[in-house]
Amino acid sequence: MKCPRCQIDKDKVLESRSTKEGAQVRRRRLCLNCGHRFTSYERIEERPVIVIKKDGRHQPFDISKVERGIMTCTEKLDIDPKDIDTILRNIEDRVFELAGPKNTITSQEVGEETLRQLYPVSPVAYVRFASVYRAFDDLDQFIKEIESLAQDK
């Protein structure tokens, strides 16, 4: 690994430990040339999951797109950022699980999983997200969605 200070690739690992989730290994390193200490992270490289869009296009799964949608639908709501991080991790984990060995998933499955994760945290965010994801175009669709939420309680 190249030292960020002197760019020489001779270093020694001083300490290794797993992150809390166990998904990464954090390594403290010492450059043997200049003595600079730095940290590196190692994680498993997975094959990318491909999302099949409604129009048939294929795109690599990008959790940041889901994050933008969640940030929009939770805007001005009193939701702990840790809850949003948990939602995103849960969605990402579930997407990899649903994609299976084929590494493909539909955009509909991603949207439905996002709704499943949002509802327990904020029914308001759920309805906001559903209105865009399901492309509500009239008030009746909003009312039906809210009524179905009320019946589920």
pLDDT of residue 103: 92
How many other C-beta atoms are found inside a 10 Å radius of the C-beta of residue 81? 9
pLDDT of residue 22: 75
Q: Which of 43, 81, 84 is nearest to 67 (CA)?
A: 84
pLDDT of residue 133: 77
Domain ranges of the chain: 11-43, 50-152
What is the average pLDDT score of the chain? 89
How far apart are alpha carbons 120 and 115 in whole angstroms? Answer: 9
pLDDT of residue 120: 94
pLDDT of residue 153: 57
pLDDT of residue 143: 83
pLDDT of residue 152: 67
Low-confidence ranges of the chain (pLDDT < 70): 20-21, 45-46, 152-153
Alpha helices for the chain (secondary structure H): 63-73, 81-99, 107-118, 123-133, 139-152
SS3 at position 101: helix
| Contact yes or no for 1/36 (Cβ under 8 A) | no
Taking CA atoms, 103 is separated from 30, 48, 63, 115, in Å, by 38, 7, 15, 21
